Amino acid sequence: MHSDISRFSDLFDMATHGPDVWVAGSARYPWGRVYGGQVAAQGLWAAAQTVPADHAPHSLHAYFIRGGDSDEPIRFEVDRIRDGRSFVTRRVVARQSSGAILNLSASFHIREDAPDVTAIERPANVTPPAALEPLNWGPFLERRPVAREEERARAWVRVPGPLADDPLVHVLAHVYASDDMPTEAVELVHPRGRPPHSGFEEHEHPYMGASLDHTVWFHRQARADEWCLHDLRSSGVSSSRGLAFGEIWSADGIHVASIAQEVLLREARPAD
């Protein structure tokens, strides 16, 4: 299945398996499991197939139930919770042979002619991506981490393009990218801190971590194949769980989306 997934768009080349059911493949990742941002984006795509074209995603809430197997197809089952005039609500369960791996709720909203106000500003004096070194871990995400300061995790991120002009494609790409930085934000406030950026194995040490649940609110449109700044911070850790909050900003200062994620962060135990 992996040989068929060479472009980001291939992740959404899903086969229909009955009413409101789709089956997709997965890319390979260095840690050997399905990347949470991928399965969340695929779940949102499946939900969108059952929604009128004039309704766009405005939020998703996802629980990552168990790790997905990259070598096995993923089945996405959509439940049409409610169709309203302004809002449409869907639930998606992603399954593999081990059981459910994702439970996602998504809401879609028809565009309204209403005030548009941004009450916060993008962080100032952030080093531009062209002046930063790449640190990529997969074929569908380009990353330029920003020097750490104020216990905030920051990176310029984009999905390699060009992507299609369809706004939904860029929403899906932002969802895909949104699972990248929250764990780092939590690690930065953990007493053991976070090791330097120097490869995947050191990136994971000294923790065993996983995304537990994930929320994205979509505010405005911006291309995801152009550099966007992911700026996240954590409120702290307790009982091996930490919470991260943050924003996605376009390079020209548009507040594109907001992110919240709870992360499991257990300190790694020495091997016997």
Phi, psi values for residue 160, rounded to 5°: -55, 135
Which of the listed residues 49, 79, 110 is the one where a domain comes to its end?
110
For the entire predicted model, the pTM comes to: 0.93
Per DSSP, 126 falls in state P
Helices (H), 159-254: 167-178, 182-189, 200-204
Residue 89 lies in a domain: yes
Residue 117 lies in a domain: no
Contact 189, 234 (CB under 8 A): yes
Low-confidence ranges of the chain (pLDDT < 70): 1-3, 148-150, 193-206, 269-272
Residue 116 lies in a domain: no
**Which SS3 state, helix, strand or coil, does residue 185 take?**
helix
Q: Could you tell me which of 36, 28, 129 has the C-alpha nearest to residue 71?
A: 28
Q: Check residue 193 and give its pLDDT.
A: 66
Domain shared by 175 and 232, yes or no: yes
Residue-number span of the structural domain to which 179 is assigned: 133-272
Q: Check residue 157 and give its pLDDT.
A: 98
Residue 142 lies in a domain: yes
Q: Check residue 195 and give its pLDDT.
A: 60
Q: Check residue 266 and give its pLDDT.
A: 85
> Any idea what the CATH number is for the domain that residue 255 is in?
3.10.129.10
Domain shared by 94 and 139, yes or no: no
Domain shared by 148 and 31, yes or no: no
The count of domains in the chain is 2
269: CB partners within 8 A, 6+ apart: none
User: What is the length of the chain?
Assistant: 272
Domain shared by 268 and 148, yes or no: yes
